[in-house]
């Protein structure tokens, strides 16, 4: 199933607006001082009651596999594979989207400098807001699903791709919350920033470069 370009643009514009609104609301809460602290604390206490030795061991492995450096390395491999297959537009879109996410993430971390909760399970440093694992995972798996959705020939294949990407992103995000590496709103902001990065870049490419066919014509 192929979506017309205008329908895709409307969909990504909605994603852009909603994710941007969520991020703005969270940032306004941070700037207000303690307004969001009770929510963060309440969720952290709930998650603490879920911890078991087995789940902790499993999610430590998940959070290590979901390290931004590992996901960015995987993204580089995907970009190379797309380029080799002649999908230059998709390769460039994938690379630029991850770049936008990483730059935005770095700017927000260095701007707000939110302290971490103080994890009893991980030895970590760096600023907490927003979650780097969550931002990169959301961006990577969103782009993975977007890049290969039309290559899946069956409904089952498309569904499996989407569900697999959603599950992987959620699992990595939850591991950061469960292990005490981030506040709940760090995770939510990371998800919003990931969606914002993808939707922004897709819209920019669509408006200023055009669709894949016109891009191939420009290269030839």
Task: Tell me the per-residue pLDDT of 110-165, one tens digit each, with 9 for 90 and over.
Answer: 998 888 887 677 777 788 899 999 999 999 999 999 999 888 888 999 999 999 99
How do residues 22-37 score in pLDDT, each as one tens digit? 999 898 888 876 666 7
67-122 pLDDT, tens digit per residue, is 999 999 999 999 999 999 988 999 999 999 999 999 999 999 999 888 888 767 77
> Residues 198, 97: contact at Cβ < 8 Å?
yes
Q: Which tokens hold the place of 6?
A: 């205008």
Q: Using an 8 Å Cβ cutoff, are 147 and 74 in contact?
A: no
Cβ 173 vs Cβ 53: under 8 Å: no
Chain centroid to CA 60: 19
**Half-sphere exposure at residue 53, Cβ-oriented, CA atoms within 13 angstroms:** 0
Domain boundaries, the chain: 5-30+54-214
The H or E element that residue 2 is part of is none
Q: For residue 209, give the nearest of 89, 124, 116 by alpha carbon.
A: 89
Question: What pTM did the predictor assign?
Answer: 0.89
Q: Distance between CA atoms of 95 and 75, rounded to whole angstroms?
A: 7
């Amino acid at each position: 199933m192929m979506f017309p370009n205008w329908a895709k643009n409307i969909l990504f514009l909605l994603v852009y607006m909603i994710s941007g609104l969520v991020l703005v609301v969270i940032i306004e809460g941070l700037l207000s001082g303690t307004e969001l602290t009770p929510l963060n604390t309440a969720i952290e206490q709930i998650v603490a009651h879920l911890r078991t030795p087995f789940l902790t061991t499993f999610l430590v492995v998940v959070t290590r596999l979901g390290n931004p450096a590992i996901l960015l390395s995987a993204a580089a491999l995907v970009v190379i594979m797309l380029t080799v297959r002649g999908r230059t537009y998709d390769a460039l879109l994938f690379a630029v989207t991850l770049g936008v996410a990483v730059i935005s993430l770095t700017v927000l971390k260095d701007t707000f400098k939110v302290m971490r909760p103080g994890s009893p399970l991980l030895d970590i440093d760096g600023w907490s807001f927003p979650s780097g694992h969550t931002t990169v995972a959301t961006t990577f798996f969103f782009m993975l699903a977007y890049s290969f959705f039309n290559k899946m020939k069956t409904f089952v294949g498309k569904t499996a791709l989407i569900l697999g990407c959603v599950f992987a992103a959620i699992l990595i995000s939850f591991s950061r919350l469960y292990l005490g590496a981030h506040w709940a709103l760090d995770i939510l902001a990371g998800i919003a920033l990931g969606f914002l990065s993808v939707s922004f870049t897709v819209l920019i490419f669509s408006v200023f470069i055009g669709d894949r066919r016109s891009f191939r014509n420009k290269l030839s």
